[in-house]
């Protein structure tokens, strides 16, 4: 199978980490959906990353759907307990929401300074800080979100924190969230996280 990614994307990283942790053979294809020659437009009607092309030719869009498929095929990163499973899903929603707010902030900041909406930027900043605070409060003393030491919640949160470092470095989340920092340091010891550190790609200036 082939996973199409953009190197900065925390959503693509989430899928990559899941594939690596589950030891699923795959190839990674780096694309840039902002560029005219992007291949992703031919595979995904929304031209979004990540997109997974299965060996039988089927195409899966969106990191949540990709993770769901991988978990059905190779379980192990969602708890059996229904309550704990919902915690992992909710954690993913918050982490992904933070990433969405960072994306919108980054794109707004690509506009000329005189055209930027400070109201919009402030609104996204509030979402980012509130989301980080929520996840910080949800962590157990063990440094995980449930009795499952490493699962979807940890994957989504770790990818989000790495994305903050890349695209929102002005926010010192480490000072705001010492428990999340401990989690992130633990996650960065895993090969799956070390191999998927995000890197910037060019995007067009938004006029």
- What is the Cα–Cα distance from 73 to 152, expressed in whole angstroms? 15
Q: pLDDT tens-digit profile of 95-130?
A: 999 999 999 999 999 999 999 999 999 999 999 999
Residues near 169 by Cβ (< 8 Å), separated by ≥ 6? none
- The structural domains of the chain, with segments of one domain joined by +, span 2-73, 82-190
Q: How far does Cα 161 stand from its chain's mean position?
A: 9
Neighbours of 172 (CB within 10 A): 9
Mean pLDDT of 129-155: 95
**Residue 155, Cβ density class (10 Å: 0-12 exposed, 13-18 middle, ≥19 buried):** buried
Mean pLDDT of 181-192: 98
Q: Is the pLDDT of residue 205 over 70?
A: no
CATH architecture, domain defined by 82-190: Up-down Bundle (1.20)
CATH superfamily of domain region 2-73: Glutaredoxin (3.40.30.10)
**Least confident stretch, 1-5, 59-63, 72-76, 112-116:** 112-116
How high is the pLDDT of residue 204? 67
pLDDT interval class at 206 (50, 70, 90): low
């Amino acid at each position: 199978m082939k996973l199409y990614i953009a190197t900065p994307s925390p959503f693509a990283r989430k899928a990559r980490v899941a594939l690596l942790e589950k030891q699923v053979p795959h190839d990674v294809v780096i694309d840039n959906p902002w560029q005219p020659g992007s291949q992703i437009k031919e595979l995904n009607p929304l031209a979004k990353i990540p997109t997974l092309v299965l060996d039988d030719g089927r195409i899966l869009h969106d990191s949540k759907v990709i993770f769901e498929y991988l978990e059905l095929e190779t379980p192990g990163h969602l708890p059996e307990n229904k309550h704990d499973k919902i915690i992992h899903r909710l954690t993913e929603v918050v982490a992904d929401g933070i990433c969405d707010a960072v994306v919108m902030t980054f794109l707004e900041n690509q506009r000329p300074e005189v055209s930027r909406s400070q109201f919009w930027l402030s609104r996204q900043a509030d979402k980012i800080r509130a989301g980080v605070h929520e996840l910080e409060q949800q962590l157990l003393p063990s440094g995980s979100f449930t009795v499952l030491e490493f699962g979807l919640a940890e994957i989504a949160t770790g990818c989000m924190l790495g994305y903050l470092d890349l695209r929102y470095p002005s926010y010192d989340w480490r000072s705001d969230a010492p428990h999340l920092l401990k989690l992130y340091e633990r996650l960065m010891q895993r090969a799956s996280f070390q191999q998927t550190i995000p890197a910037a790609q060019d995007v067009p200036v938004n006029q």
